[in-house]
Structure 1
Amino acid sequence: MNKEEVSQKYQIPVSLLDEYESWGLCNVVKFVMGEWQYDDQDIERLSTIMALHDMGFKNDEIEKYMRLLLETKNSADEIIQLLTKKRQNKLDQIHFQEKQLERIDYLRYKIKKSQEK
């Protein structure tokens, strides 16, 4: 499949495909008659990239993750560290948002109390 076919079939933005190609990770992708051709393995990698993107990974983090994933020797620990760091960041965001909600609830409570008087 070429870039446009992949983009349409799998709902992957062309800009993401361009990024993927620029990383040089698509060693299986072949350049045929002026177009990149994607195979099933590339689609699987792109699925992983989309999932990481949806989880809030930045492009440089995704590239690092994918490079580590393709580098099968001794990369598991580094991948776990990367995922653990991202998980902790997400937890920090959740806790911050919980505090914001508590403040909102407190303000609502104060207003309701003042209305009762």
Structure 2
Amino acid sequence: MNKKEVSQKYRIPIEVLDEYESGGLCNVVKYVMGEWQYDDQDLERLSTIMALHDVGFNNEEVKEYMHLLLETSDSKEEIIALLNNKRKKKLQQIHLQEKQLERIDYLKFKMKELKEK
């Protein structure tokens, strides 16, 4: 499948595919007769890359993950460590947001008290 076909079939903007290609994130993709050609394995990798971006991985983290996944035979522990670190950071963000919500609720409570006086 060429870039346009992938974009239409999977609803991935061409700009996103361009970014992946130029960033070397899909370096296995073949360049044939003047255009990029994606096979099923490339699409699987692209799906993984998009999932990593969706959960907050930046381009450098994606490159590291994909390198470990594709080029290192015994990298499961390193990949799990990367995922655990990302999960830990996300939990820290959630806890911070929960504290912020508690502060907002406290301020609302105080405003209601003042309004009732």
TM-score (norm 2): 0.90
Name the counterpart of 2:75.
75
Corresponding residue of 1:64: 64
- The answer as to whether partners of 1:31 and 1:37 remain within 8 angstroms in 2 is yes
- CA distance in 1 between counterparts of 2:25 and 2:66 reads 11
Return 49-58 or 15-24, whichever deviates more: 15-24
Residue 102 (structure 1) aligns with: 102
RMSD: 1.5
Shift of 1:14: 2.5
Please say if residues 7 and 14 of structure 2, whose CA atoms lie closer than 8 Å, have aligned partners that are also in contact.
yes
Which residue of 2 is the match for residue 52 of structure 1? Answer: 52
Deviation at 1:38, TM superposition (A): 0.3
Where do 5+ consecutive residues of structure 2 fail to align?
Answer: none
SS at match of 1:49: helix
SS at match of 2:27: coil
- Stretch deviating more after TM superposition (86-95 or 13-22): 13-22
Partner Cα separation in structure 2 for residue 36 and residue 77 of structure 1: 33
Q: C-alpha offsets along residues 32-89 of structure 1, whole Å, 9 cap, x if unaligned?
A: 2100110011111111111111101101111111111112422111111111110011
| Cα distance between partner residues in 1 of 2:5 and 2:85 | 35
Answer yes or no: is the 8 Å Cα contact 2:26–2:46 preserved in 1. Answer: no
Alignment of 1:1-117 (within 5 A): 1-22=1-22, 23=24, 25-27=26-28, 29-117=29-117
1:18 CA displacement: 2.6
The alignment-based identity, stated in percent, is: 69
**Could you tell me the TM-score, scaled by structure 1's length?**
0.90
CA distance in 2, matches of 1:20, 1:37: 13
Quote the offset at 1:26 in angstroms.
Answer: 3.4
The one-letter code sitting in structure 1 at the alignment partner of 2:27 is C
